[in-house]
Amino acid sequence: MIRVFLIASSPLARAALQNRLKAQSVKIVGSAAAIDSLGGELSDSQADVLLVDSSGEPSEAIIESLADSDLAAEIPIVVLTEAASAAVSVQALQAGIRAVLPSEISTDQLAAALQAAGAGLVVLHPTEIPVAFPAAAQASPPLAELPEPLTRREREVLQMLAAGLANKEIAARLNISDHTAKFHVAAILGKLGAATRTEAVALGIRHGLVLL
């Protein structure tokens, strides 16, 4: 269970995020309306990650405020925003912020990003990769649309494959049989046209199906 402190100017936004995350392995241990109103609440909460929802506010101003506060040196920070350019996201990462993600990101992806940030990792949304790694983006030819899209469950399994989980671990996480987990993996490989699990993850990243 990861402990998260939440900052959002709107009480409705705070309540919505709490509802989204309550079914995940995420515990909201405190919340505030703004960075400058934190006081000692953040340290008292013993949070593992600080989640900042900047929806409705200029993302550049929020990121500048976070960078000036030096909070990134104390706790991993994940920012949700409605419209941050990839360049701004890269600047945020350079300032020590672990992730800048779109507000419409799925709940599963958000929970995965929080877990990754809490574990000390930097999280990149697929849309940021061309700016963060321009050489890699130029080297990769455009991908054709998948003939058959992955289902929600298959996307969950693909994310677990990216985390290195074996079929038995996937089955345990999703409370399904080993046979069903194996079936999902086979379906993912077939839809992506991959020969191996590693290739499926690589193709999933390029298609924007895997959150790094």
Locate the domains of the chain by residue range.
2-131, 140-206
Residues of the chain below pLDDT 50: 136-138
To 10 degrees, what angle do helices 178-192 and 197-206 make? Answer: 60
Q: What's the pLDDT score for residue 128?
A: 59
The fourth-level CATH superfamily of domain 2-131 is Response regulator (3.40.50.2300)
Q: Which amino acid is at 93?
A: L
Q: Which amino acid is at 130?
A: P
Supply the Cα-derived Rg of the chain in whole angstroms: 18
Which residue reads 């999703």 in tokens?
A: 174
Q: What's the pLDDT score for residue 181?
A: 92
Strand, coil or helix: what is 54?
coil
Percentages (nearest 5) of helix, strand, coil residues in the chain: 50, 15, 35
Q: What's the pLDDT score for residue 132?
A: 52
Region for 196 from its dihedrals, namely left if φ exceeds 0, alpha if ψ lies in -120 to 50, beta otherwise: beta
CATH of 140-206, one of 1.10.3720.10, 1.10.10.10, 1.10.600.10, 1.20.120.450: 1.10.10.10
Q: What is the biggest distance separating any 2 CA atoms in the chain, rounded to whole angstroms?
A: 53
| CA distance readout (Å), 58 to 4, 71, 81, 95, 181 | 23, 19, 9, 17, 42
pTM above 0.75, yes or no: no
Q: Are 159 and 210 in contact (CB under 8 A)?
A: yes
Q: What's the pLDDT score for residue 184?
A: 93
Residue-wise DSSP of 137-205: HHHSPPPPPPSSPPPHHHHHHHHHHHTT--HHHHHHHHT--HHHHHHHHHHHHHHHT-SSHHHHHHHHH
Helix (H), strand (E) counts: the chain: 11, 5
**Is 140-206 the same fold as 2-131?**
no
